[in-house]
């Protein structure tokens, strides 16, 4: 088990290194000049001013030298300084990560509360009205994009009810009511897609398990249907469900970028979008590396959960 974890951690570090090199390269081929974005456009900067600014930002050095310098800082926990605010990127991320983590966790909880009961009921009562309703919900959830649903929702709320979600962020332990008023609707929108995917996987996986011989044997012994489903079927059926939830977590993080921007919530997603618009290289690199690290850690947790769900799975 320890060998497997160590190997997976090394693989994760390799993935993060590849991501760092890829994003470091890609941000430098974005259209637009990062230096011009930082200088006052109205002042019509001279070539000397541009060259001096590039030297101050370290953008005049060779590509590989810039990358080595940045990676040396990353290893020490220093992601560099934002080209826009001149503050440390780590500090900028820590200011925003609380909201994004609140939104992601709330979205995940909402998705699971919707997907698991509906998926189980749809499988147990296959081809009934409830099953068809659950499948219709899944199709709608997959068909409606997050950005479209967020735009329509906030437009209708503002027109019909003259209500807009509060701008800013209050942690749930400080002001629960304000926190819910800020994040509940965005979490419902983001969680809807994850719920649709998870519900379909729960239904199909449970249907497959219910057809297995050991389920037939458990029923033949006179066990109640609820006991058969809870004790024998659910754990084995949840292995592919956990897998799809882990995979969808990356989609969830990506969805927060647009939804946070639409609802004017100051999270990591909106910070990343602003950094792209301003060509803030170091901030883009730090935010993308943060998302990649979360996804790698989530995938490791998903893999380790398999042995708990199914004791037959052993890692070496």
d(CA 298, CA 217): 36
CA distances from 185 to 6, 114, 161, 203, 260 (A): 40, 15, 14, 26, 11
Do 63 and 138 share a domain, yes or no? no
pLDDT, one tens digit per residue, over 136-153 is 888 888 788 777 888 888
Residue 71 covered by a domain: yes
Q: Which residue has the higher pLDDT, 282 or 39?
A: 282
Length in residues, the chain: 316
CA distances from 172 to 9, 62, 102, 164 (A): 32, 46, 8, 19
Banded model confidence at residue 35, pLDDT cuts 50, 70, 90? low
Do 66 and 39 share a domain, yes or no? yes
Do 202 and 69 share a domain, yes or no? no
Residue 81 covered by a domain: no
pLDDT of residue 264: 74
Q: Which of 189-203, 207-221, 237-251 has the lowest mean pLDDT?
A: 237-251
Q: Within 13 Å, how many C-alpha atoms sit on residue 71's CB side?
A: 17
Q: Choose one of 46, 75, 104: the last residue of a domain.
A: 75
pLDDT at 57 over 70: no
Banded model confidence at residue 42, pLDDT cuts 50, 70, 90? very low
pTM of the predicted structure, to 2 decimals = 0.74
- In this structure, the number of other CB atoms found within 10 A of the CB of residue 313 comes to 12
pLDDT at 308 over 80: no
Q: Which residue has the higher pLDDT, 90 or 85?
A: 90
Q: Which residue has the higher pLDDT, 58 or 19?
A: 19
Do 71 and 103 share a domain, yes or no? no
Banded model confidence at residue 45, pLDDT cuts 50, 70, 90? low
Determine contact, residues 267/103, Cβ cutoff 8 Å.
yes
pLDDT at 1 over 70: no
Do 62 and 205 share a domain, yes or no? no
pLDDT, one tens digit per residue, over 121-130 is 888 888 888 8
Do 32 and 176 share a domain, yes or no? no
pLDDT of residue 281: 79
Do 200 and 299 share a domain, yes or no? yes
Do 103 and 44 share a domain, yes or no? no
Residue 269 covered by a domain: yes
Q: Which ranges constitute the DSSP H helices of 144-170?
A: 146-160
DSSP sequence for 66-112: HHHHHHHHHHTT---B-TTT-SBHHHHHHHHHHHHHHHHHHHHHHHH
Residue that is written with structure tokens 């990343």 in the block: 272
Instruction: List, in sequence order, every residue forming a beta bridge with 81; answer none if it has no partner.
Output: 88
pLDDT at 69 over 80: yes
pLDDT of residue 302: 79
Q: Which domain range does residue 70 map to?
A: 2-75
Phi, psi angle pair for 161, to nearest 5° = -115, 0
pLDDT, one tens digit per residue, over 277-295 is 777 778 888 888 888 888 8
Residues 146-174 have a mean pLDDT of 76
Calculate the average pLDDT of the chain: 78
CATH number at residue 249: 1.10.3720.10
Residue that is written with structure tokens 């906030």 in the block: 154
Residues 128-137 have a mean pLDDT of 84
Dmax (CA) for the chain in angstroms is: 87
Residues 34-43 have a mean pLDDT of 58
Phi, psi angle pair for 262, to nearest 5° = -65, -40
pLDDT at 188 over 80: yes
Task: Report the alpha-carbon angle 100-140-262, nearest 5.
Answer: 35
Do 64 and 99 share a domain, yes or no? no
Determine contact, residues 172/208, Cβ cutoff 8 Å.
no
């Amino acid at each position: 088990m320890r060998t497997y974890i160590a190997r997976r951690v090394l693989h994760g570090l390799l993935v993060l290194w590849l991501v760092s090199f890829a994003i470091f390269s890609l941000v430098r081929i974005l259209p637009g000049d990062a230096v011009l974005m930082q200088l006052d456009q109205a002042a019509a900067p001279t070539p000397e001013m541009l060259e001096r600014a590039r030297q101050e930002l370290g953008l005049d050095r060779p590509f590989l030298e810039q990358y080595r310098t940045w990676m040396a800082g990353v290893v020490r926990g220093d992601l560099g300084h934002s080209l826009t605010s001149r503050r440390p990127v780590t500090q900028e991320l820590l200011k925003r990560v609380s909201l994004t983590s609140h939104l992601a966790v709330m979205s995940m909880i909402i998705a699971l509360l919707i997907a698991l009961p509906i998926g189980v009921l749809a499988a147990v009562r296959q081809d009934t009205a409830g099953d068809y309703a659950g499948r219709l919900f899944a199709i709608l959830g997959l068909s409606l994009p997050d950005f479209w649903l967020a735009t329509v929702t906030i437009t209708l709320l503002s027109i019909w009810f003259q209500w807009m979600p509060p701008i800013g962020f209050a942690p749930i332990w400080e002001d629960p009511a304000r926190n819910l008023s800020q994040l509940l609707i965005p979490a419902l929108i983001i969680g809807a897609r994850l719920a649709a995917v998870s519900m379909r996987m729960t239904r199909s996986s449970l249907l497959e398990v219910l057809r297995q011989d050991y389920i037939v044997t458990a029923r033949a012994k006179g066990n109640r249907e609820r006991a058969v489903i809870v004790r024998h079927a659910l754990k084995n059926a949840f292995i592919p469900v956990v897998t799809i939830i882990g995979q969808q977590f990356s989609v969830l993080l990506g969805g927060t970028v647009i939804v946070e921007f639409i609802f004017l919530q100051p999270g990591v997603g909106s910070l990343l979008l602003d950094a792209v618009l301003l060509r803030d290289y170091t901030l883009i690199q730090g935010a993308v590396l943060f998302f990649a690290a979360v996804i790698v850690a989530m995938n490791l947790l998903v893999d380790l959960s398999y042995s708990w769900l199914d004791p037959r799975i052993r890692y070496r």
